[in-house]
Amino acid sequence: MTATTSRRIVAIDGAVGQSPNRPDGIPKLRGEFEFAQDLRAEGMLWAATVRSPHPRARISSIDVAPALAVGGVHACLTADDVPGRATFGLEHPDQPVLAGEEVRFWGEPVAVVAAEDEVTARHAAGLVEVGYEILDPLTDPAEADRRDEVFRRMRIRRGDQTARGAVVVEGSYQVGMQDQAPLGTEAGLAIPDGHGGVDLYATSQFVHIDQEQVVASLGLRPDQVRSHPTGIGGAFGAREDVNLHIHLCMLALHTGKPVKMVYHRSESFAGHVHRHPAWLRYRHEADADGRLVRVEAEVLIDGGAYASTTSAVLANACYFAVGPYRCDSVAVDGVGARTNNPPCGAMRGFGAVQVCFAYETQMDRLAAALDMDPLDLRERNALGTGDPMPTTGQVIETPLPTADVIRSLRAMPLPEADPGPHHSYLPGGSGLTTEPGQVRRGVGYAFGIKNLGFSEGSDDYAQARVRLSGEGAVVETAAIEVGQGLVTVLAQIARSALGISRVEVVHVDTSRIDSAGSTSASRQSQVSGGATLEAATRLRRRILARHDGDDLDDEGVWRGESLLVPWSSLADEDWTETVTFRHPPTTEPDENGQGVVHADFAVAGHRAVVDVDVELGLVKVIRVDTAQDVGLALNPASVRGQIEGGILQGVGLAVMEELVVKDGVMLNATFTDYLLPTILDAPEVEALLIERPGSWGPYGAKGVGEPPTISSTAAVVAAIRAASGKELNRVPVRPQDIALP
């Protein structure tokens, strides 16, 4: 037994830097893990939602009597039954809980039904008679801009606006509407507490913001609503906004019974926000040596019918419109349009994805115009620590190893040119449609940057509690585990900071702990991780001070070689430490978009290798290699999981994933018609973690969830361009974009 702290910490099983198995792995593999879809309560009712079949209409009447006449139906509620605030919204409460006077998008909820079983609830929902006077939907975001139907306008001006370069490249780009498509659809159970309050267990990325919105719309006191973290099947941004949460609580309190609702897949597509489709116009100017002299960008995103997070997504798109490159003359104008299309909001990458496709295409074209190697061009302009952000002017204080990322990715080995022995490795796959002679290989690179944590002056914090129990230490949090492995990482941090190996992470409801903020913006490892680190560190310090010890481990408190307080005695004492962690403050932008608006940044690069059947327009993504700025990998296996999963979502946007909306109506709201990458579509991935410890994340960690998704799309399209010679200014790239002249 040694007495030195450092040796013990390094030796702790499951500490920071290792890749312990996840605590929920075996229950998930056995089918025993409880998801929101699996919840049940004695005597519970099932709910179903009545949705608008029109993108825009005036509601002239709603007759719920036919639904109520069905045996087993307990309630059918409409806008008139909302007890409190009639609207909700993540940032601006502009969306009706249930549409009363007008429906503004296809699929908007109009009424909710509760019945004794699911079939009856859905049948009764179909009997609600809604009178609609159909109105002309506004579905063109450019027209919305002209009519000033906008959620936000952004204007960024930095540097000498008259600066001009010798070489000019202009382009227009388009990004289609992507869906998060988490495998678990929206689901939840609300249970009345018998005293006028309610307990909600529902799919969420942010239980405290759900609780606030339920409280407002039900007209209850905050202590009457408890939102409980529960098992959810993925998120990727789709679960930041309220959808069935208020409906379930209304029905539970109205009927006095537990009420459960599970969206079908088609409802899930209608019931959550999507990645904003975007239209982008760019002008890059460089001097003859390839230094960026000026970047101009116009960014138009379609926010759809309600605000959700459109304002923040637009801001992000504009702040990162130049990419990870230095430039001292920048003009960006952004519009977040309000239309009658499906509402858009958060999806992994949050605005940084759309602009990356455009600016990286511009960088490749600029390199071509300069007759320069595209990686040399990027390295020459690489943004780094100490540089001002090209858009906001914020001086970057965190390590930002853009140049290292570029050099490292360039140095990674390329695969053999041979497409492989099996037909499934050809672009046509097992359809056997591809003539091998029509296959061309292409290689493309792209790099991206994004903020970590919330921006623009928001009070971004997370609370965590660390306490000792008889078994070991417990980390309490309301930070949502969406699958990324937060439950593993928080335990690792607590183990390293406390010196104790027996650590468990426990999710508690909104009444028992303050907010951890949203599991989004790649932030939880840094903010909830930061809170856990500080709480565990303080707890260890207090324990050692109280007992005059010099070390703490699984056996108890030590001084030198002697065990002063064995664990059993220590655990009998009340040891709890609660910490609210805040990252360095940010500010709102000034009228030119200038200011310290971000807390932290990360960069990543991707190199895609594709085989393209240029005759049929089919693409096989062979591999995507990446170098990513991770600060410090708290759990290398989890980081790799984020990288591989994020890259495949980027590949999806590049070649197959698009929600097709025509005249405001979604045409492919099923898994048959919205194509998701399968195991046969997945490229091989080699990932290089660039570890330059960051400035404020625990142990130097940076968030890693979003960067894999940002430039992987652009890299794949660059590779398809290299193979096909086509311009490809739009994603997803469709077969006709490649095969037709």
Partner 1 sequence: MIVEFTVNGEQVSARVTFPGSLLDLLRDDLGLPGSKDACEQGECGSCSVMLDGELVCSCLVMAADVAGSSVTTVEGVGSEETLHPVQEAMHQAGAVQCGFCTPGFVVAAADLFARNPHPSLTEIKEALAGNICRCTGYGAILRALERIATGSAR
412 within 8 A of 606, measured Cβ to Cβ:
no
| Minimal distance, residue 682 CB to partner 1, in Å | 4
Which residues face 731 on adjacent strands? 175
- Considering only residues 82-111, where is the footprint of partner 1 by CB under 8 A? none
- Can 706 be counted among the known catalytic residues? yes
Sheet strand arrangement including 129-134: 102-103, 57-63, 129-134
Q: How many residues bind partner 1 (CB under 8 A)?
A: 62
Q: At what angle do helices 524-547 and 486-498 cross, to 10 degrees?
A: 30
Measured CA distances, 192 to 22, 40, 251 (Å): 33, 14, 9
Q: How many other CB atoms sit within 10 Å of the CB of residue 9? A: 17
Binding residue for partner 1, selected from 119, 142, 163, 166, defined by CB under 8 A: 119
Q: Residues 179-198: x/- map of binding to partner 1 (CB under 8 A)?
A: -xxxxxx-------------
Q: Residues 204-233: x/- map of binding to partner 1 (CB under 8 A)?
A: ---------------------------xxx
Which residues face 102 on adjacent strands? 58
Which residues, 6+ apart, have CB-to-CB distance to 648 below 8 Å? 677, 681, 682, 683
* Residue 267 or 577 with smaller CB distance to partner 1: 267
Q: Residues 475-514: x/- map of binding to partner 1 (CB under 8 A)?
A: -------xxxx-----------------------------
Q: Is 675 exposed, middle or buried (0-12, 13-18, 19+ CB in 10 A)?
A: middle
- Considering only residues 353-372, where is the footprint of partner 1 by CB under 8 A? none
Which residues, 6+ apart, have CB-to-CB distance to 53 below 8 Å? 106, 132
Q: Does 116 bind partner 1 (CB under 8 A)?
A: no
Give 592's DSSP letter.
T
| Minimal distance, residue 423 CB to partner 1, in Å | 9
Q: Residues 629-648: x/- map of binding to partner 1 (CB under 8 A)?
A: --------xx-xx-xxxxxx
| Minimal distance, residue 555 CB to partner 1, in Å | 29
Q: Residues 420-439: x/- map of binding to partner 1 (CB under 8 A)?
A: --x-x-----x---------
* Residue 388 or 636 with smaller CB distance to partner 1: 636
Binding residue for partner 1, selected from 14, 15, 16, 37, defined by CB under 8 A: 37
Residue range at the interface with partner 1 (CB under 8 A); choices 26-34, 302-310, 325-333, 335-343? 26-34
Task: State the catalytic residue, choosing from 108, 285, 577, 706.
Answer: 706
Q: Does 24 bind partner 1 (CB under 8 A)?
A: yes
* Residue 679 or 740 with smaller CB distance to partner 1: 679
Strand (E) or helix (H) holding 11: helix 5-11
How far is it, in rounded angstroms, from Cα 224 to Cα 60? Answer: 35
Binding residue for partner 1, selected from 123, 264, 283, 582, defined by CB under 8 A: 264
Q: Does 4 bind partner 1 (CB under 8 A)?
A: no
Angle at 433 between CA 419 and CA 670, to 5 degrees: 100
Among 660, 666, 661, 658, which Cα is nearest to 267's?
666
Among 618, 630, 626, 683, which Cα is nearest to 656's?
618
- Considering only residues 230-259, where is the footprint of partner 1 by CB under 8 A? 231-236
| Minimal distance, residue 632 CB to partner 1, in Å | 18
506 within 8 A of 475, measured Cβ to Cβ:
yes
124 within 8 A of 115, measured Cβ to Cβ:
yes
Q: Does 741 bind partner 1 (CB under 8 A)?
A: no
Binding residue for partner 1, selected from 32, 80, 160, 193, defined by CB under 8 A: 32
| Minimal distance, residue 476 CB to partner 1, in Å | 22
| Minimal distance, residue 192 CB to partner 1, in Å | 22
* Residue 270 or 301 with smaller CB distance to partner 1: 270
Q: Does 41 bind partner 1 (CB under 8 A)?
A: no
Q: Residues 300-339: x/- map of binding to partner 1 (CB under 8 A)?
A: ----------------------------------------
Q: Does 26 bind partner 1 (CB under 8 A)?
A: yes
| Minimal distance, residue 683 CB to partner 1, in Å | 9
Q: Does 33 bind partner 1 (CB under 8 A)?
A: yes
Which residues, 6+ apart, have CB-to-CB distance to 76 below 8 Å? 64, 67, 68, 111, 112, 113, 114, 124, 128
* Residue 335 or 704 with smaller CB distance to partner 1: 704
- Phi, psi angles (nearest 5°) of residue 330: -135, 140
Among 607, 616, 631, which Cα is nearest to 690's?
631
How far is it, in rounded angstroms, from Cα 53 to Cα 293? Answer: 50
Helices within 219-283 (DSSP H only): 245-255, 265-271
How far is it, in rounded angstroms, from Cα 192 to Cα 640? Answer: 42
286 within 8 A of 366, measured Cβ to Cβ:
yes
Sheet strand arrangement including 45-51: 73-77, 109-115, 45-51, 259-262, 187-192, 198-202, 225-228
237 within 8 A of 346, measured Cβ to Cβ:
yes
| Minimal distance, residue 30 CB to partner 1, in Å | 7
| Minimal distance, residue 679 CB to partner 1, in Å | 4
How far is it, in rounded angstroms, from Cα 467 to Cα 476? Answer: 8
| Minimal distance, residue 651 CB to partner 1, in Å | 9
At 139, the amino acid letter reads T
The SS3 of residue 101 is coil
How far is it, in rounded angstroms, from Cα 48 to Cα 114? Answer: 7
Binding residue for partner 1, selected from 38, 102, 328, 550, defined by CB under 8 A: 38
- Considering only residues 651-710, where is the footprint of partner 1 by CB under 8 A? 670-672, 676, 678-680, 682, 684-685
Give 385's DSSP letter.
T
* Residue 348 or 465 with smaller CB distance to partner 1: 348
How far is it, in rounded angstroms, from Cα 489 to Cα 487? Answer: 6
The strand pair at 45-51 and 259-262 is best described as: parallel
| Minimal distance, residue 180 CB to partner 1, in Å | 8
Residue range at the interface with partner 1 (CB under 8 A); choices 23-31, 222-230, 374-382, 459-467? 23-31
Q: Does 649 bind partner 1 (CB under 8 A)?
A: yes
| Minimal distance, residue 728 CB to partner 1, in Å | 23
- Considering only residues 131-160, where is the footprint of partner 1 by CB under 8 A? none
* Residue 44 or 144 with smaller CB distance to partner 1: 44
* Residue 27 or 585 with smaller CB distance to partner 1: 27
| Minimal distance, residue 115 CB to partner 1, in Å | 14
* Residue 32 or 588 with smaller CB distance to partner 1: 32
Q: Does 568 bind partner 1 (CB under 8 A)?
A: no
Contacting residues toward partner 1, per CB under 8 A: 19, 21-22, 24-35, 37-38, 118-119, 180-185, 231-236, 262, 264-265, 422, 424, 430, 482-485, 637-638, 640-641, 643-649, 670-672, 676, 678-680, 682, 684-685
| Active-site residue set | 706
